[in-house]
Structure 1
Amino acid sequence: MTEQFDAKPAAESSRLAAAAAQAAVEAGALTPAERRRNWTRLGSESFDVVVIGGGVTGAGAALDAATRGMRVALVEARDLAAGTSSRSSKLFHGGLRYLEQLEFGLVREALRERELMLTKIAPHLVKPVPFLYPLSHRLWERPYTAAGLLLYDTMGGARSVPGQKHLTRAGALRLFPALKRTALVGGIRYFDSQADDARHTMTVARTAAHYGAVVRTSTRVVDFLRESDRVSGVRVRDVETGEETDVTAQVVINATGVWTDELQQLSGSRGRFRVKASKGVHIVVPRDRIVAEAGLILRTEKSVLFVIPWRNHWIIGTTDTEWELDLAHPAATKSDIDYILTHVNKVLATPLVHEDIEGVYAGLRPLLTGESEDTSKLSREHAVARVAPGLVAIAGGKYTTYRVMAADAIDAAAVDLPGRIAPSITDKVPLLGADGYHALVNQADQLAAKHGLHPYRVRHLLDRYGSLIHQVLAQATGRPELLRPIPAAPDYLQVEVVYAAGHEGALHLEDVLTRRTRISIEYPHRGVDCAEPVARLMGEILGWDEERRAEEVRIYIARVNAERDSQDQSDDQAADARRSTAPEARPDLQENDSKE
């Protein structure tokens, strides 16, 4: 096939290359060339909406606005999902525990969104997952919990997944053999769903780009533009080059999560709500350390603890403690890790130890302040406010309800937009890769044979890229070595690195190792052992010379070492001090943390 292509006349080859480039743009590809074009567009076009923040809410707002027919720009100082949206529990869940807090509306809304993701919007990314709720009290606990789960199922919890199933102690232990017999008297199995949060957020942003949004990372807001008392846009800096430009817009949306207050101060407008950061820590252990066929949900004195199946691993978490230090790099402490191990080991027949841990990550929840100083009791509801003419802020909420939050933000922006705006339609818009996914799953064996891959490998790719798998595998045309696993990270293929740099907007080594893949938390070496080959593959696409490749590797290894060091500290202040010693991959952000 390659020889035939090379034999075509130069003009025909040029035409095909141009057509391929255009097709990539139409598919929402965040290519290096598109990044350069988008910088020009930011400075030369006028937008209806500029969204600040590349987390799931910001990406969702950009998609919502674009599909309503608006001219949209999304800017993010770091990488897509670099903050909270890559560090969640990776669940699309109905919020079963919120029933006890009588948050019925929140549960109903979350279950509707979960159903949309599973069936229409992102079936390639969002998957059902069973959980065991162990019962530890006789007589009263089973009917009490069953009543809550019946309400949960009635609200939509059993619409496209099985409803609750009651189990004896023997039945619960067959589902979760790793539990101590004394840890339960019975159990109830129910279903929720999960997704790779970073990949999902990136796909939402790419889908927005597919519908015309200008999406640009490493683009930091340094000031707000004004006309009289009205916000009329933002001034942005390319943190890779230091260049600055003004971006004009009818309305600016602050969707920066835990950075909401800082952006509010930069705008000079008085905020309508405050955001408090709550730190949540998770650990990752190998799948064989816990013998079970389902996840586990446990009550703790503060909140709940999840044991979540994650491919060949378990994710266990989370903590819920106030955090007032570095918002960009929250640090997990030894105390956080010990808290998780202590609580999960109360019910495991074979306790987990520190040596079992493959990865650790810490994220910050943006909680609306006001109800209680206890972060575990702060509202998970979201709030939207028009804080000044031309400026809307949105904060709070849950990952699961990002689409509703995004629609609310664009609705709030309507007062600053001329004419009548169309209603939100994102409940009808599949994300890139969703269309054709189910048919490709049925064709996995044929697709595997065509490319010389094992069918399980193709299914893994389908669950990461959906129908975009053809784009991914096309990168290996004429280069069969790209279909080999990444050295020291065999769950991923080398072609995925090439695709991340060429189509998914990855600009730095950490973007690939921590977000486009999850190597940084899925392997004990945390990406260090494969940093060199991954940097070399990225460098081919991004034009890195040997010095730049070495620098990317150096920065990444320093980051891992700083994180490991912080996880040996007993308190937040000491952990933050150790984590902050690592250099930034985006140098412009080293001294002045991003407001995005």
Structure 2
Amino acid sequence: MTIPALNPQQREEHLATLAEETFDILVIGGGVTGAGTALDAATRGLKTALVEAQDYASGTSSRSSRLVHGGLRYLYNLDFALVAEALKERGLLISKLAPHLVKAQPFLWPLKTPVIERTYSAVGVGLYDALAVIGAGMHKTVPLQKHLSKKGAMQRFADVRPDALVGAIEFYDARVDDARLVINLTRSAVRYGATTASRTAVVGLLQGADGRVTGAKVRDMETGREFDVKAKAVIGATGVWTEDTQSMATTRAGLKVLASKGIHIVVPRDRIKAEAGMFLRTEKSVLFIIPWQHYWVIGTTDTAWHEQLEHPVPTAADIDYVLEHANAVLDAKLTRDDIIGTYAGLRPLLQPVGQDEAKSAKVSREHTTLEAAPGLVSIAGGKLTTYRVMAKDAVDVALGKQRAAETPSITDNVPLLGADGYSAVVRRRDEIAKKYGWSTGQVDHLLDTYGSEIDALLALIDEDPDLGRQLKACDWYVRAEVAFACRYEGALHLEDILIQRVRLNSSTPDRGASAVDEVAEIAAPLLGWDADRTTAEKENYRARAAAELAAQEQTTDAEASKVRTEAPDMVPSTL
């Protein structure tokens, strides 16, 4: 099978198609909701288009806690329907839709009192497990809860403070590379016929005299060229930009969204000795300590954000908050010197009129879909785990009840790229490791990234064995992953590679700056860069990395935002 290739040539072809044809559905926004919506529409047989103002997944969808979870804390708010829905989606992703990307992950819930807390916590986690089993059709997709003594908990999490618990409950959720999920969704949509282009911003909505939205005026941000995209229905899946999208149409309806900032820190894997993650409740939100192959991700926060929306950044106060709460349970105290990465994202929370934004942690994550104007559907709220349900609802509203019933969503039975044949290719792990001189750990990383598409990556190495070497700046990655990002995954710039695909921006102390020369050497011929363009790309990324590092030393959001935006964007944005 020929795999979908997102690259500069494809982009030009799809831009021409966008300008010439009329679509059943035009989706605005290339985050997880927009990409999921494009896949839903395309698999219903609808002529589908997707445009994204920046890079795919460049907003909230690449800056999450990287979890696929039911939301255990929502049980405290009695949001049973929300939790049940999310757990059903978790089961689908693990078992059928994306088993290569979504992995079951054990967490410890530390207990402070031996009887009362264990009892009510066991009931809560037991309900969590029960909802998951019911949602999976009475099948387990992750192990059920397990009660641990203090000794047992410390065996599973050796670096926990002895006075931080009297025991623990071990339960399961799942983790995912959020940006890679979005890119995979986008490519899967293209596989089923969707037309898509990144760096293509909507600068206006087309609206007839009767008030019906009939498409959008878009601008190719790479060239500045503007043209109209005609569509029978437009779906705005723009997250924290929802109100901006709605304002392009003449309408009194719409959704009001609060931008809530969540930050994470990243520390080396060997810095915390543990076999499981940890789940903690704080006075403001929850704190996850999440293990990945090479590092730990620790977060998050939940605070209102009033600055520019494109480049949210953590402050020194945010970082200190996460360190303080992590160190409350860690015996091996973390310091700023241990941090190898940070990032911040903005949750698009539906904001009821009169709601106190300081209480944003209590705003429900449930999504809402409505027709903001005839032909214009807005969807906001929700979370990454339930992207498929959100996408289904958005397309249903765009089609109307009768047409939606005639062509229902089928994405609960459509595996994403890399899922087909994944189990079979995993059995070739040792063979692949031997042939290419890699450790089984390196092959596991590639299998968890590409699934059965690993054969396409290996074909690149067979063509050019030099691509099989590890990156000098970070041996977690091989050079072929950069080439794959350019040939198949829609990367147009260095920042696209280093932030959303080869994710050194959030997992190395210099934010990937030391990898710039090597990555540019691989990318330049594939993306058609001349010497001047290559130099500009490198200089721009280094300036960005320096600004991000400087911003996280500031004490307030306003100061951090100002420092970050002093670095110019490689491609000017309309956002």
TM-score, normalised to structure 1's length?
0.93
Amino acid at match of 2:503: R
Distance, in Å, in 2 between the alignment partners of 1:420 and 1:96 is 33
Deviation digits for residues 402-438 of structure 1 (CA, Å, limit 9, x no counterpart)? 0000000000001399797400000000000100011
Residue 226 (structure 1) aligned to one of 196, 204, 207: 207
Residue 431 (structure 1) aligned to one of 398, 413, 416: 416
Q: What is the correspondence of 1:63-462 to structure 2 with a 5 Å cutoff?
A: 63-156=39-132, 159-228=140-209, 229-370=211-352, 371-373=355-357, 374-415=359-400, 421-462=406-447
- Residues 1:261 and 1:172: Cα distance change in structure 2 (over 3 Å): same
Which residue is equivalent to 1:575? 560
Distance, in Å, in 2 between the alignment partners of 1:317 and 1:419 is 39
Distance, in Å, in 2 between the alignment partners of 1:459 and 1:333 is 34
Which residue is equivalent to 1:8? none
Residue 540 (structure 2) aligned to one of 547, 552, 555: 555
Deviation digits for residues 286-311 of structure 1 (CA, Å, limit 9, x no counterpart)? 01111111000111111211100021
Amino acid at match of 2:319: I
1:521 aligns with 2:502: no
Which residue is equivalent to 2:22? 46
Distance, in Å, in 2 between the alignment partners of 1:496 and 1:138 is 49
Distance, in Å, in 2 between the alignment partners of 1:333 and 1:31 is 35
CA contact (8 A) 2:179 2:500 kept: yes
> Which secondary structure does the structure 1 equivalent of 2:196 belong to?
strand
Which residue is equivalent to 1:10? none
Deviation digits for residues 376-403 of structure 1 (CA, Å, limit 9, x no counterpart)? 0111000000111110000000110000
CA contact (8 A) 1:331 1:566 kept: yes
Distance, in Å, in 2 between the alignment partners of 1:72 and 1:416 is 19
Deviates more, 1:259-268 or 1:54-63: 259-268
CA contact (8 A) 1:68 1:421 kept: no
CA contact (8 A) 2:7 2:492 kept: no
Give, in angstroms, the shift of residue 271 of structure 1.
3.3
Give, in angstroms, the shift of residue 267 of structure 1.
2.1
1:466 aligns with 2:488: no
- Residues 1:273 and 1:577: Cα distance change in structure 2 (over 3 Å): same
> Which secondary structure does the structure 1 equivalent of 2:262 belong to?
strand
Distance, in Å, in 2 between the alignment partners of 1:478 and 1:159 is 42
Structure 2 residue runs of 5 or longer lacking an equivalent are 134-138
- Residues 1:455 and 1:170: Cα distance change in structure 2 (over 3 Å): closer
Residue identity over aligned pairs, in percent, reads 52
CA contact (8 A) 1:28 1:208 kept: no
Distance, in Å, in 1 between the alignment partners of 2:401 and 2:377 is 10
1:506 aligns with 2:502: no
Give, in angstroms, the shift of residue 183 of structure 1.
0.6
> Which secondary structure does the structure 2 equivalent of 1:520 belong to?
coil
Give, in angstroms, the shift of residue 450 of structure 1.
3.3
Distance, in Å, in 2 between the alignment partners of 1:554 and 1:139 is 59
Distance, in Å, in 2 between the alignment partners of 1:396 and 1:498 is 35
Distance, in Å, in 2 between the alignment partners of 1:583 and 1:310 is 32
CA contact (8 A) 1:29 1:210 kept: no
Distance, in Å, in 1 between the alignment partners of 2:402 and 2:534 is 45
Amino acid at match of 2:179: A
- Residues 1:106 and 1:420: Cα distance change in structure 2 (over 3 Å): closer
Give, in angstroms, the shift of residue 443 of structure 1.
1.2
Aligned residues: CA RMSD = 1.4
Which residue is equivalent to 2:479? 494
Distance, in Å, in 1 between the alignment partners of 2:197 and 2:347 is 24
> Which secondary structure does the structure 2 equivalent of 1:431 belong to?
coil
> Which secondary structure does the structure 1 equivalent of 2:476 belong to?
strand
CA contact (8 A) 2:246 2:254 kept: no
Give, in angstroms, the shift of residue 372 of structure 1.
4.3
Distance, in Å, in 1 between the alignment partners of 2:108 and 2:405 is 48
Which residue is equivalent to 1:5? none
Give, in angstroms, the shift of residue 478 of structure 1.
3.3
Which residue is equivalent to 1:538? 523
Which residue is equivalent to 1:17? none
Distance, in Å, in 2 between the alignment partners of 1:76 and 1:419 is 25
TM-score, normalised to structure 2's length?
0.96
Amino acid at match of 1:231: V
CA contact (8 A) 1:283 1:316 kept: yes
CA contact (8 A) 1:261 1:271 kept: no
> Which secondary structure does the structure 2 equivalent of 1:314 belong to?
strand
Give, in angstroms, the shift of residue 447 of structure 1.
2.4
Distance, in Å, in 2 between the alignment partners of 1:438 and 1:329 is 38
Which residue is equivalent to 1:9? none
- Residues 1:546 and 1:350: Cα distance change in structure 2 (over 3 Å): same
Distance, in Å, in 2 between the alignment partners of 1:450 and 1:540 is 27
Distance, in Å, in 1 between the alignment partners of 2:14 and 2:246 is 26
CA contact (8 A) 1:92 1:114 kept: yes
CA contact (8 A) 2:242 2:257 kept: yes
Deviates more, 1:250-259 or 1:220-229: 220-229
- Residues 1:264 and 1:416: Cα distance change in structure 2 (over 3 Å): farther
Distance, in Å, in 1 between the alignment partners of 2:435 and 2:252 is 59
Amino acid at match of 1:514: I
CA contact (8 A) 1:207 1:431 kept: yes
CA contact (8 A) 2:53 2:198 kept: yes
Distance, in Å, in 1 between the alignment partners of 2:147 and 2:241 is 43
Give, in angstroms, the shift of residue 38 of structure 1.
0.3
> Which secondary structure does the structure 1 equivalent of 2:253 belong to?
coil
> Which secondary structure does the structure 2 equivalent of 1:81 belong to?
coil
> Which secondary structure does the structure 1 equivalent of 2:463 belong to?
coil
Distance, in Å, in 2 between the alignment partners of 1:420 and 1:183 is 53
Distance, in Å, in 2 between the alignment partners of 1:33 and 1:263 is 28
